[in-house]
Chain A
Amino acid sequence: MKYLVLRIFQSSCLLVGVSLLSFIFIELSPGDFFDEMKLNPQISSETLVQLRRQYGMDQPFAVRYIHWLKSVAHGELGFSFAYNAPVAPLLRSRARNTLLLAGSATLMAWLIALPWGILSAEKHGKWFDSGSSLLTSILLATPDVLLALGLLLFAVRTRFLPTGGMMSLAAENRGRWTETKDISIHLLGPVIVLALISLPTLLRHIRAAMIEALASPCVRAARAHGIGRSRILLRHAFPVAMNPLISLFGLSLGSLLSASLLIEVVMSWPGLGPLLLESILARDVYVIIGAVMFASFTLVSGMLLGDVLLIGADPRIRTEGLL
Chain B
Amino acid sequence: MPDARKPLLEVRGLCKIHRQGRWWERRFQVRALHNVDLTLDAGSTLALVGESGSGKTTLAMCLMGLERPDAGDIRFNGESLREQGRCERARNIQLLFQDSAGALNPGMSAREIIEEPLLILGKEKGGPRRGRVSKAMEQVGLPASWSHRRPYQLSGGQRQRLAIARALVVEPRLLILDEALAGLDLSIQGQISNLLLDLQAAHGLSYLYISHNLALVTQFADEMVVLHKGQVTKRLIASEMIVTSKEPAALAGMSMAARALGAHAGTGAP
Contact = CB atoms under 8 A, between A and B. Distances in A.
Interface string A186-221: 000000000000000000000000000000111011
Contact of B94 (A220, A222, A225, A315): A225
B214 to A, nearest CB: 25
A218 B104 contact: yes
Contacts of B107: 239-240, 314-315
B152 interface: yes
A320 B152 CA distance: 10
B66 A225 contact: no
Given A217-B97, A226-B87, A239 B120 contact: no
B171 interface: no
A243 B153 CA distance: 19
Given A224-B90, A316-B152, A218 B105 contact: yes
A136 B103 CA distance: 33
B94 A217 contact: no
A231 B95 CA distance: 19
Contacts of B117: 225-227
Nearest to A221: B103
Given A125-B22, A239-B107, A314-B107, A225 B120 contact: yes
B64 interface: yes
Contact of B105 (A125, A223, A236, A320): A236
Contact of A227 (B120, B153, B163): B120
A224 B66 CA distance: 7
B105 A222 contact: yes
A236 B87 CA distance: 17
B120 A218 contact: no
A173 interface: no
B120 A228 contact: yes
A84 interface: no
A319 interface: yes
Interface string B85-117: 111111100110101001111110000000011
A314 B151 CA distance: 13
B252 interface: no
Nearest to B102: A217
Interface string A32-59: 0000000000000000000000000000
B182 to A, nearest CB: 13
A227 B97 contact: no
B157 to A, nearest CB: 18
Given A125-B22, A221-B97, A226-B89, A216 B120 contact: no
B90 A221 contact: no
Which of B22, B116, B152 has most A Cβ within 10 Å? Answer: B116
A316 B64 CA distance: 31
Given A217-B99, A220-B66, A315-B150, A225 B90 contact: yes
Nearest to B106: A316
Contacts, number: 66
Nearest to B150: A315
A226 B102 contact: no
A127 to B, nearest CB: 11
A225 B116 contact: yes
A218 B150 CA distance: 14
B121 interface: yes
A215 to B, nearest CB: 11
B57 to A, nearest CB: 11
A218 B97 CA distance: 9
B106 A221 contact: no
A231 B85 CA distance: 16
A228 to B, nearest CB: 7
Interface string A231-257: 100011001100000000000000000
Nearest to A242: B107
A221 B163 CA distance: 10
B86 to A, nearest CB: 4
Nearest to A223: B66
A73 to B, nearest CB: 44
Contacts of B106: 218, 240, 314-316
A227 B105 contact: no
B102 A239 contact: no
Interface in A283-320: 314-316, 319-320
A240 B105 CA distance: 8
Contacts of A314: 106-107
Interface in B164-195: 166
Nearest to A320: B152
A227 B116 CA distance: 8
13 contacts: A218-B102, A218-B103, A224-B90, A224-B95, A225-B120, A226-B86, A226-B120, A227-B117, A227-B120, A235-B105, A239-B105, A240-B106, A316-B152
Interface of A: 125, 216-218, 220-228, 231, 235-236, 239-240, 314-316, 319-320
Question: What 9 pairs between A and B have smallest CB-CB spacing?
Answer: A226-B90, A217-B102, A221-B103, A226-B87, A226-B86, A217-B103, A239-B107, A224-B95, A224-B64
Given A224-B66, A226-B120, 18 more contacts: A217-B102, A218-B104, A220-B97, A221-B103, A223-B66, A224-B94, A225-B94, A225-B120, A225-B166, A226-B87, A227-B120, A231-B120, A236-B105, A239-B105, A240-B106, A240-B107, A319-B153, A320-B152
